[in-house]
Structure 1
């Protein structure tokens, strides 16, 4: 229904807001206002995780968006190869109330209609999430 789009971001803190803006502009161009806020927040969380935990020094991350009649799929690709290493796969954490980090994937789990992790070739991983699309004129959008 739409052409998938992607953009590479450098490994620097400013890239988080740039990735969020990229997602918002893409969804607006596609006429998808319904999931925009949830997607933007999940881009922030997944891009932050990629920047802090998933990128090799000097490497950035890639954000990819795709949509069909039913779902928007958000992917954040990183460069850290977790296969055969001591790097843990992304998982929902259970931080204490006083912890200031560790809630990112919990937020993604609450806002998205599904999420997961896939290996990326030749190295790295893809953390994806999906959201009900609600294209104008679709049943979800009207109901």
Structure 2
């Protein structure tokens, strides 16, 4: 059975924490405890990227979760087409590790264009 849920978040710093809570509550409700921390950390990184780099002024972002056949797919939709790429960071850098973490924790991730504008950054987690 396919389970899908989504929620829109305003372009405010507190929305990142709200996105984490949304994902936690959803996964708990679905009875999916496995990989919970990995998925929660990834939504935090992707939501932060959407907020800081991916949203046009006063536009928020959408978080969608889909569960099917032992795989959870996390998507973060935003309003800019600029594609994110993992960066090489120095030990002293205070930011820039989000996509590196997503790549390390997820079983796959990528970026798709969104119509009419923006992009979808997704990550998948095998949980069965």
Provide the TM-score with structure 1 as the length reference: 0.87
Measured in 2, the distance between the counterparts of 1:38 and 1:96 equals 23
1:110 aligns with 2:104: yes
**Higher-Rg member (1/2):** 1
**Residues 97-131 of structure 1: CA deviation (Å, up to 9, x unaligned):** 11101100000001000000000010000000000
* Residue segments in structure 1 that go unaligned for 5+ positions in a row: 83-88, 135-143
**Residues 3-51 of structure 1: CA deviation (Å, up to 9, x unaligned):** 2000000000000000000000000111100011100000000000000
Partner of 1:56: 56
1:128 aligns with 2:109: no
Partner of 2:22: 22
1:71 aligns with 2:65: no
Runs of 4+ in 1 over 2 A off after TM superposition: none
Of residues 79, 84, 94 in structure 1, which corresponds to 2:88?
Answer: 94
* Residue segments in structure 2 that go unaligned for 5+ positions in a row: none
Measured in 1, the distance between the counterparts of 2:81 and 2:121 equals 13
**Residues 32-75 of structure 1: CA deviation (Å, up to 9, x unaligned):** 00011100000000000000000000000000000111210000
Measured in 1, the distance between the counterparts of 2:124 and 2:64 equals 12
